[in-house]
Amino acid sequence: MDIDPIGDERGFFARTWCREEFRAFGLSSVVEQSSISFNQKRGTLRGMHYQAAPNEEVKLVRCTRGVIRDIIVDLRAASPTFCRWFAVDLTADNGRMVYVPAGFAHGFQALADQSEVFYQISEPYRLEMARGVRWNDPAFQIEWPISDPILSVRDRSFPDFAGKLERSLLSK
Active site residues: 49, 119
The three-state (H, E, C) secondary structure of the chain, written as one string: CCCCCEEECCEEECCCCCHHHHHHCCCCCCCCEEEEEEECCCCEEEEEEEECCCCCCCEEEEEEECEEEEEEEECCCCCCCCCCEEEEEEECCCCCEEEECCCEEEEEEECCCCEEEEEEECCCCCHHHEEECCCCCCCCCCCCCCCCCECCHHHHCCCCHHHHHHHHHHCC
